[in-house]
Structure 1
Amino acid sequence: MVMKATASRITATGLYLSAFGLFFSYAFFATSMYNDALPVRFELVVLAVGLPLLLTKIIVFDHYTMGQWLLVFTGLVLVAWTARTSGRYILIGVYLLMIGARRVSFEAIAKTALLVGLATFILIFVSSLLNLIPNLRYLREGTYRNSFGIQYPTDFAAHVLYLLLAYAAVKKGRFKWYDWLLSLFAAWFVWYFCDARLDTILIALLLVLLAVYWLIEKGVRPAIGVAWVSVGAMAIGAALSLGLSYFYSPKVPWLEDLNKLLSARLRLGRTAFDRYDPQVFGQVIKTTGWGGTQGFKQFTGKLITKEYFFIDSSYLTVLLSFGLIVAVALLIGYTWFAWREVHRGDYLLPLLIAVTAVSCIVDQHLLDVSYNVFILALLADTRSFRLAVA
């Protein structure tokens, strides 16, 4: 019986990681300039292949009570309706990836994301150096910002950040001297070649929190207080992002200074609120960014379209695109997860998620699994991350 149960767990994990690897590799690949060669609505093909694997894992191997099945199905109906109203059908895949992660080791998920992500990242980076795909170079205040095959320089920098976060999870937060050097080099690289100042700061924040985790492992109890503070990181990030955008006015000096520091993100957020009201099930948000082939042509003046309008904040994107139900569910889910993990002695994942919470103020990657795999930790098995601190 023990051998049968073990075999079942391995099969279930294998099914899940196969589906996740497929979704992750496609989503990562789609952020690159190779995306121009993909057919329109190619994500539907990915869903058609990956969903049966996920559904088999969920239906055959996961054991739910009738009440739990009802809750899962209700969530699926709400997500499907939101995907329809927002035009973002990949949301269905993200939901099933979250549900399917039940009883799957998040350590295994992070390892898969790191291996597949690094392979895809290197392929894209080298392809741009060999001119197989364009390295879009944006000139800002006399400085060239390289995208290295990704559709926009800050997206390239965000990939670096989230790969480092996955690496920290795989290493269980225990960085050696060469890991610190690698992280510092990454911070310098995205600052020097991409002029991605905010992502450079976020990498520095990651290193600070890893130092805090080192203190926690050494038994320095006051450091645990930082982990407890991280429980509210997502709520604080959402409040700051939404509040500052909503109340932004160029007539308020300190808000205008902050807006300039954040590359006009507050002004664009206020514009988003002016154009769209939050809906229960979301809506189609029409944006015009500078990423990708068309965006680069607009940036360089070779293509005249509408004014630049892009929502960088994940919190604002989720609220307006996916609606109130998804936004509130995510906020509650993240906060509950972080509280539960700290209560159980897992201090690392809440600290890493705190970095993503800050990132979500300036980046739109909260529900993009090609960047943020930590959303899958909410229902995954995280026992291997727990510490016993005296």
Structure 2
Amino acid sequence: MKTLYTGNFVHRGNTNWTEKIYLAAFVCVLTAFFLKSTLFIPGRISYFFLYKFIQAASILAVIKSLFIEQKLTKEKIFYLAGLTCLFGLSFLANNFDLFYYFLFALSASRVDFHKILVVFFGVNFWGTLIVIFAEWINFIPNQVQFRPDQPGLIRYSMGFSSPTDFSARVFYIILSYMLLKKFSLKFYDYLGIMLSTLVMYVITNARLDGLLIFLLLICTWVYPFVKVSINKVSYLFWYASSVIFICANILIAFFYDPANKILNRIDVILSRRLTFGHAALTRYKLGLVGKPIQEFGNGGLHPNPQNYFFIDSSYIRLLVMSGIIVFLLVLVLLYFIFFRIKLTRSTFFLIYVFFIILSSAFDQYFLDLSYNLLFFLLFADLNWFIPNRMSERKENSKKLHTITGMELKRNGTNYMSKKTI
């Protein structure tokens, strides 16, 4: 049995079929959560059937981890203890999406993250095209929204629950594609991404997702410079910066005052996200465990609610709806993600994490496995992404010999020329 090394993390290889069992379960749960954000639900598929499907896929993932995969007893105890704690916290908050997310993240141990990412990209990419086609042939409806400050502007969801769901889906598809390419794109990649972003923006008028994709393209364009800059700084700095950003996102909403012209202007740009974030933090008391909160959003086919209330920021949602314990647990796990990325020496993972953290300040998809695989980085096998140091040394040596040979040849030619003269 071969041994795989990921920094200081050692993963013992398993037979292919254990990995295939996990990937089959992952395809099922990913498809289910993807459909949950579309108008296939509940018109064509009931929530009851959807969650039964998710439960069946989850059982398959647990069977793979406990009974099929070769694990030490202490690993199985850790796995069961983690799932039990998450189940209890999810039960108290009446939100089991968090439980399913971490169940599949924990079960991804010893599974090739590259294969998980390929499945993730494939399901999202083809699923999005199928949803758009289903809306085009009127198999599912299309939700239409208007901006309060721009009543003449029409936003279309293209078969998703809301225009924001569609635009965020496009952003995360592009982000996962760039990670697959290790942020090294060809001209046709840039062209395709820019055209997709333009079409998405015209359809949804999603300003924040459009801006994020624009920043992502710039970051990819100057990736060699970004890579050098990131590697000069300790991973602790990047982790601390992320935590400060998350806390600042919460504190700005908490101290939001409409009388403050600067904050009020930011609130307008962010489509009143500060207003509703402030309402959530002041209206509901924070507790160690979460609590269910009734929201009245624009998603779905119901008429626009008169008493609209929706928490867009993932961090405020996490703190208020999942509780302080889960919030702190996520921050701790985030540290270990940065630590593991440091061991792999893969800069592109940092960029992937940064853009998820940035996007989650404005959208609610931080812990939605159909949108991102952030915490899968903590448990999955990352070997495919680790730079091959030996190959790099050989390539550099080859270049050095080539340059030296050219130099000798040039010098030799000059010497002969001088001798002839």
Normalization by structure 2: what TM-score? Answer: 0.84
Alignment partner of 1:22 is 2:28:
yes
1:12 — aligned with what?
18
For 1:227 and 1:356, the matched residues in 2 are separated by: 20
* Aligned ranges 1:279-298 → 2 under 5 Å: 279-294=287-302, 297-298=303-304
SS in 2 for 1:293: coil
2:417 — aligned with what?
none
* Number of equivalent positions: 377
Alignment partner of 1:153 is 2:171:
no
For 2:245 and 2:70, the matched residues in 1 are separated by: 34
Contact 2:58 2:104 in 1 (8 A): no
Alignment partner of 1:271 is 2:279:
yes
Question: Which letter does structure 1 place at the counterpart of 2:283?
Answer: R
Compute the displacement of 1:106 (Å).
1.0
Gaps of at least 5 residues in structure 2 are 4-10, 394-421
2:416 — aligned with what?
none
Pair 1:102–1:181, CA change in 2 (3 A): same
Deviations 1:125-166 (A, max 9, x none): 111122221121212212111110001111100000011111
Contact 1:83 1:91 in 2 (8 A): yes
Contact 1:348 1:385 in 2 (8 A): no
* Aligned ranges 1:23-62 → 2 under 5 Å: 23-36=29-42, 37-60=44-67, 61-62=69-70
Pair 1:153–1:62, CA change in 2 (3 A): farther
Compute the displacement of 1:343 (Å).
4.2
Pair 1:186–1:225, CA change in 2 (3 A): farther
Question: Which letter does structure 1 place at the counterpart of 2:300?
Answer: G
Pair 1:283–1:306, CA change in 2 (3 A): farther
For 1:292 and 1:29, the matched residues in 2 are separated by: 13
For 2:287 and 2:127, the matched residues in 1 are separated by: 36
Compute the displacement of 1:62 (Å).
4.6
Gaps of at least 5 residues in structure 1 are 299-304
Question: Which letter does structure 2 place at the counterpart of 1:192?
Answer: V
Identity of aligned residues (%): 27
1:262 — aligned with what?
270
Question: Which letter does structure 2 place at the counterpart of 1:247?
Answer: F
Contact 1:135 1:146 in 2 (8 A): yes
2:71 — aligned with what?
63
Deviations 1:22-60 (A, max 9, x none): 010010011111012322333430233112211122113
Pair 1:311–1:253, CA change in 2 (3 A): same
Compute the displacement of 1:172 (Å).
2.1
2:348 — aligned with what?
348
Report the RMSD for the aligned CA atoms in angstroms: 2.3
Pair 1:306–1:75, CA change in 2 (3 A): farther
Contact 2:26 2:104 in 1 (8 A): yes
Pair 1:53–1:172, CA change in 2 (3 A): same
Alignment partner of 1:133 is 2:140:
yes
Pair 1:161–1:120, CA change in 2 (3 A): same
Contact 1:136 1:147 in 2 (8 A): yes
2:82 — aligned with what?
75
For 2:184 and 2:70, the matched residues in 1 are separated by: 32
1:301 — aligned with what?
none
SS in 1 for 2:34: helix
2:316 — aligned with what?
316
For 2:266 and 2:70, the matched residues in 1 are separated by: 48
Residue from 243, 247, 254 that aligns with 1:246: 254
2:112 — aligned with what?
105
Question: Which letter does structure 1 place at the counterpart of 2:383?
Answer: R
1:167 — aligned with what?
177
Q: Based on CA coordinates, which of the two structures has the bigger radius of gyration?
A: 2
For 2:218 and 2:101, the matched residues in 1 are separated by: 30
1:207 — aligned with what?
217
SS in 2 for 1:362: coil
For 2:363 and 2:187, the matched residues in 1 are separated by: 29
Pair 1:136–1:185, CA change in 2 (3 A): same
For 2:101 and 2:195, the matched residues in 1 are separated by: 32
Range 201-210 or range 353-362, more displaced: 201-210
Compute the displacement of 1:371 (Å).
0.7
Question: Which letter does structure 2 place at the counterpart of 1:237?
Answer: F
Pair 1:216–1:360, CA change in 2 (3 A): closer
Compute the displacement of 1:226 (Å).
7.3
